[in-house]
Amino acid sequence: MMRVKFSSVSNVGAVDAYKFYKKKYPKTTVTYTLYKYVVSEFNKKVSDLILEGHSFNMGHRLSSIRIKKIARSFNKPTVDWGETNKLRKEGIKTIVYYTDDFYFRWHWEKARCLVKNKSVYSFTPNGGVKGNKRALVTKLKQDEFAYLNFK
């Protein structure tokens, strides 16, 4: 689920969105459980669409979210902690760096967003075992041609 962060003050999540929905439509019979289920399923479908290489336009002048292909800078190498820790368990004390020409990350096209005070908003894909960050890594590791879908 996408969380919108307002500066460093607070996060706005599903509960706040449901309260707003109930305030706007007081006669609705939609419960919080149903509301959360619908929003969750929608977000899963959007995430799957983005992981297939599409861009999702959020509408309402908020621009779009996609996965961005970024050229890696070798001036400041990035440590591959997974491989480094595997070697350390075997007794080899060395640091392994990423050598790929590109890396990929979730990206909100904020420059095209036409909302006032957009600098106080941020987009952070969820992490964890079932999160979108992990899903991107898994997709890139399992499908050797997945990187071709992203620009």
Can you say how many angstroms the Cα of residue 134 is from the centroid of all Cα atoms in its chain? Answer: 9
Contact, 28 vs 38, CB < 8 A? Answer: no
pTM: 0.75
How many angstroms separate the CA atoms of 66 and 56, rounded? Answer: 6
Q: pLDDT at residue 4 above 80?
A: no
How many angstroms separate the CA atoms of 19 and 16, rounded? Answer: 5
Between β-strands 10-12 and 123-124, what pairing exists: parallel, antiparallel or unpaired?
unpaired
Q: Where are the domains of the chain?
A: 3-145
Q: What is the mean pLDDT of the chain?
A: 87
What pLDDT digit, counting tens, does each position of 96-128 carry?
998 888 999 999 988 888 888 888 888 888 888
